[in-house]
Structure formats: C-alpha cells, structure tokens
Amino acid sequence: MICQNLSDLSESDQKKLFSRNTALSDVEASVDAILKNVKENGDSAILEYAEKFDKAKLSSLLVSKKEMDDAVSGLSPELLAHLQKAADNIRKFHEAQIPKEIWVENTKGILLGQKPIPVERVGCYVPGGRASYPSTVLMTAIPAKAAGVENVIVCTPARSDGTVHPLTLAAAKIAGVDQIFKTGGAQAIAAMAYGTKSIPRVDKIVGPGNVYVTVAKMKIRDFAEIDFPAGPSEVLIIADDFADPKMAAADILAQAEHDPNSVSILVTPSSIFAEKVMEEVNVQRKVAHRNEIIESALANSALLVTKDLDECIAFSNKFGPEHLQIMVDPKREDSVLSKIKNAGSVFVGNYAPVPAGDYASGTNHVLPTSGYVRMYSGLNTAHFLKFVTVQKISKDGLYAIKDTIIALAEEEGLFEHAEAVRKRFE
C-alpha cells in the first residue's frame, strides 16, 4: 500500500492508481470467445461454462419454484426481516425518483409532452463466486419493478452443488423477480443479450461484475442496452484530523475485501492522521477474514498526504471514485460536498460508511467504476425508462409556427418538408 505525499507520487504509481489495476484489453480475447460460443450454441455453452468455471453440473438453468420456496422457508425469520427492511428502504427511495409526465404549451395550440415508458424486459446480473450478493438483487430488481418493468430476470452463478445461495433467492422473491437463472460471468451477459432456449433475451442489462462481466457488457450493446461499466469496487476517502483513524482504516479494508482488484484511497492534509490510519490498517488487516483478497487489493491502494483539503478535492474529482467518503470537520462538510464534481455515491460524516449504502440506507450500490462517474449516474429508476415525446397540435397552433418551419426546411433544401406544412393551409 502506497503511503506518501501526493506531490511525491511517481508517474508509474499514478498510472497504476488511475487505471485501477484493471486492463480491460487483457481479457477481450477470452470474452470474445465466450460471447461467440453462447451466441452460436446457447444453453449447451452455458452449461459447459457452469461446469468449467463454477464446478457445477447442472440439469437445468432455471431456478424452480420449489427451490425458491425451500430457500425462503429455510431462512430464519430474523434474517428475512432484515432483508425486508433493506428492501423497504430501497423501494421507498427509488419510488421517489420516478419522473412524472410533463406537458408544456409554449405556443397556443401546441401541447408538448414527455411520457416515461418502462422497457419491457430487464436482466439483472448478480455476482457470485467469492461471495453471495442478495443485496445486489434488491438494488437491481426493485428499481426496475418500481419503474414499471413487467419482466425482470436475474442471472447469478450456481454454487458447486448446483444451488443458488438461499438469501439470494429470498431477495429475489421480495424484489418481485420473475425468473432466476444459474449462470454467471461473461456467459450470463451473452445469454441475456442474445437469448437462449432457456434464457430470454432482454432489452437492458444492469448490475456489477468482474472485469470479464464489464467487458462483456460493453461488447453486447448492439443487442441490449446496459446501465454502465461497473467493475471492481473502489472507495476514496477525504479526511482531516476530525476523522477517526480506526473508522477510516475499517472503511479501507471493507472495500478491499470485495475483490483483489478493488481500490481504496485515502487523501488527507494531515501526515499525522495518515500515519495513524496506516497503523490501524496494519492492526486490523491481521484479523481480517478475507485476508488473501484484502492483501491483493491493498497492493492497489494508497494513503496520500496533500497540502490542503482543496488538493484532496481536486484529486478526488480527477480520480472519479465509485464511492466517496467525506470525513472532515462537520463545519466543512457542506463546503467540501459542494465542490465534488465526479463521484458515484457520496457518504458524508464519520457515521456514513459505504456499507450503509451497500445494504440498507436506501440508495443504490450499483455504481460506475474506473472513472466512468464522469459521464454516468449510479443505477436509478430512470435507467429502466424510455422518454417518449408527444405533440398535440391544432390548426391554429401549426399556423403559428408555419412560416418558421417552411423557411428553415427550404433553407436546408428539404422542400417536401415545407410542402407538408404548406399544403395544410391551401
């Protein structure tokens, strides 16, 4: 883990931090081969990949109703209550995001409207492998259903015994998912984009994944739209001496345990605080559970000392983190927040850790990574909607803009456009 002044950061270290240690081009050939195989061979390719990558020999890709019911009945009522509480918070926040129809009459006789219309079928990718992610089921399916999507499917890898984690299935039931399929990786993205005998083709694919999933999503956009590139998790923490070094260290390790390619960065104007955080990281990492993953991720991470908070903010905006934590003097929180331009989701205060948004506060944890926050928003209900414009025009309304239309059309050399208007008044 790098620990030094930002001004002393070498060019190679800067390049490593900003690349997030994930070169998409490194896996392109593998992903291309998977996409081609699934497109040509459908279910048989998916079943082969399940055995190869997940060590699961499957007779069916679809999770049955019995499997769903057995999973839910086997969970403790207390755990189900926690899952329901998280779902309720997520649903409430995302229902508040739903845009309304708008109607504007900017010229008498011309009524202009915009109607939000949900896409018909959405595919939610839910990672598996190193961990189960029932929270991702809630984060992807609940906003889709809130937006009015009729058919929501989930693809998630099976465990080696051919089952899906029961909490993932319970989350799917609570979220109103219509079908769940046992497949993961780039092959799941291909199946949802092209369609197979078992897995229906969808209009849009959402959800996070590893570098293979991210590359696959970016390559199938001629067949299905995606939310945005969402790869290995990352956090950037802006902190000063008012922050608690134990909390900051815990937040660094919390992101590091996601994936070996995860990135955790802390920027602070206080060298003393940085040293305290480094000491805490070294203490806490010794008792961490997913130690092997954490150690790999910490190799991608950094504690950087700046000359002041403004330099912290400038670095953060340049980096564009998936998650941004602001852990500064409460009197300065709003000032720092007002200067943030690029971030997926922002967590303000010592008691606003990223896991709050990961699970239960209600905001969405499916967020752009690798600097894509410069151009994409985190997952929200608008991702599941198309916006169709409408115009209701009376004869008087068209007459009011007739001359403008004719003049501009003829200037562009589109004379039949002009005639289409002129003939209405002959």
- Euclidean distance between CA atoms 21 and 18, whole angstroms: 8
Residue of 67, 257, 280, 322 marked active site: 322
Evaluate if residue 289 carries a pLDDT over 80. yes
109 neighbors 272 (Cβ within 8 angstroms): no
Evaluate if residue 131 carries a pLDDT over 80. no
Evaluate if residue 129 carries a pLDDT over 80. no
Q: Is 289 a catalytic residue?
A: no
Residue whose token pair is 């953060």:
316
122 phi and psi angles, rounded to 5 deg: -120, 140
Q: Could you tell me the residue range of the domain that residue 131 belongs to?
A: 25-226
- Annotated binding-site residues for NAD(+) read 125, 187, 210
Residues 289, 207 share a domain: no
Is 378 part of any domain? no
pLDDT the model gives residue 16 = 84
167 phi and psi angles, rounded to 5 deg: -70, -35
pLDDT the model gives residue 206 = 98
High-pLDDT (> 70) share of the chain, %: 99
Residues 337, 314 share a domain: yes
Q: Is 51 a catalytic residue?
A: no
Is 134 part of any domain? yes
306 neighbors 315 (Cβ within 8 angstroms): yes
Tens of pLDDT, residue by residue over 199-257, are 999 999 999 988 899 999 999 999 999 999 887 889 999 999 999 999 999 999 999 99
Residues 238, 169 share a domain: no
Is 353 part of any domain? yes
Is 160 part of any domain? yes
> What's the mean per-residue pLDDT of the chain?
94
Residues 276, 154 share a domain: no
pLDDT the model gives residue 130 = 58
Tens of pLDDT, residue by residue over 149-204, are 999 999 999 999 999 999 999 999 999 999 999 999 999 999 999 999 999 999 99
Could you say which of 173, 201, 226 is where a domain stops? 226
- Annotated binding-site residues read 125, 187, 210, 233, 255, 258, 323, 358, 412, 417
Tens of pLDDT, residue by residue over 10-60, are 888 888 888 876 667 789 999 999 999 999 999 999 999 999 999 999 999
Is 388 part of any domain? no
Question: Residue 323: beta bridge partners?
Answer: 235, 345
Taking the mean position of all CA atoms in its chain, how far away is CA 107? Answer: 41
Three-state DSSP class for residue 376: coil
Residues 142, 63 share a domain: yes
Instruction: Please report the beta strands in 193-333, taking only residues with DSSP state E, as ranges in sequence order.
Output: 204-206, 225-226, 234-239, 263-268, 302-305, 323-327
- Euclidean distance between CA atoms 189 and 187, whole angstroms: 5
Is 369 part of any domain? no
Please write down the HEC assignment for all residues of 187-214.
HHHHHHHHCCCCCCCCCEEECCCCHHHH
Residues 170, 134 share a domain: yes
Residues 219, 237 share a domain: no
- Euclidean distance between CA atoms 305 and 288, whole angstroms: 26
Is 84 part of any domain? yes
Residue 228, CA distances (Å) to 22, 200, 279, 340, 367 in order: 16, 21, 36, 21, 8
Residues 214, 73 share a domain: yes
Could you say which of 226, 250, 279 is where a domain stops? 226
Two structure tokens written together for 329? 């003097």
Of 208, 205, 207, 135, nearest in space to 175 by CA: 135
High-pLDDT (> 90) share of the chain, %: 85
Residue of 165, 323, 365, 383 marked active site: 323
Taking the mean position of all CA atoms in its chain, how far away is CA 75? Answer: 28
Residues 298, 309 share a domain: yes
pLDDT the model gives residue 26 = 84
Report the CATH number that the domain containing residue 260 is assigned in CATH: 3.40.50.1980
Evaluate if residue 418 carries a pLDDT over 90. yes
Read off the pTM: 0.92
Residue 242's identity, in one-letter code, is F
Of 27, 109, 72, nearest in space to 392 by CA: 109
Residues 189, 334 share a domain: no
pLDDT the model gives residue 258 = 86
Residues 399, 303 share a domain: no
What total of structural domains would you count in the chain?
3
Of 48, 20, 21, 22, nearest in space to 34 by CA: 48
Averaged pLDDT for residues 274-278: 96
Residue 262, CA distances (Å) to 19, 178, 265 in order: 11, 32, 10
Is 273 part of any domain? yes
- Integer-rounded Cα radius of gyration of the chain: 25
- Annotated binding-site residues for substrate read 233, 255, 258, 323, 358, 412, 417
Residue whose token pair is 């508040």:
96
Residues 338, 247 share a domain: yes
Averaged pLDDT for residues 99-119: 96
Could you say which of 226, 257, 277 is where a domain stops? 226
Tens of pLDDT, residue by residue over 339-397, are 999 999 999 999 999 999 999 999 999 999 999 999 999 999 999 999 999 999 999 99
